[in-house]
């Protein structure tokens, strides 16, 4: 499946390993730095790849950033604002696991959109 190049949502995993690695602070920093951008920064309960924590996924575009550190946030923000994905950071991600994560997010977004009371 070909993915859109658009980034509408930045999912930040907040499950135990990601939270212990600083993901809640990363979410707040991303929200602050992206306040003027048409991108929603959202918590996601579990991306499903705890050994690679903290995890951030840009959706629907599909970049998966793993083992994120505070020093990586400027590169992620630059990408979200229209720059290229950070090769240094994306090389950490296993391609097959990335595809599984994106399928999970696709299904999550489909279900959320069809839920009673969902807003377009």
Contact 39, 8 (CB under 8 A): yes
Residues 6+ apart with CB under 8 A from 45: 13, 14, 15
CATH code assigned to 7-114: 3.40.30.10
Task: Match 């602050």 to its residue by tokens.
Answer: 32
Structural domain boundaries of the chain?
7-114
pLDDT tens digits in sequence order for the chain, 120 residues long: 688 999 999 999 999 999 999 999 999 999 999 999 999 999 998 998 999 999 999 999 999 999 999 999 999 999 999 999 999 999 989 999 999 999 999 999 999 888 887 655
What is the model's pTM? 0.91
Q: At what angle do helices 23-33 and 73-80 cross, to 10 degrees?
A: 40
Give the pLDDT of residue 85. Answer: 95
Give the pLDDT of residue 102. Answer: 95
């Amino acid at each position: 499946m070909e993915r859109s190049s658009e980034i509408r949502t930045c999912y930040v995993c907040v499950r135990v390993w990601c939270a212990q690695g600083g993901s809640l602070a990363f979410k707040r920093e991303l929200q602050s730095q992206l306040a003027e951008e048409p991108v929603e920064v959202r918590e996601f309960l579990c991306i499903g790849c705890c050994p690679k924590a903290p995890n951030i996924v840009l959706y629907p575009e599909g970049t998966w950033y793993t083992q994120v550190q505070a020093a990586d946030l400027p590169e992620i923000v630059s990408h979200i604002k229209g720059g290229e994905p950070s090769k240094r950071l994306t090389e950490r991600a296993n391609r097959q696991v990335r595809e599984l994560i994106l399928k999970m997010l696709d299904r999550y977004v489909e279900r959320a959109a069809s839920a009673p009371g969902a807003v377009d």
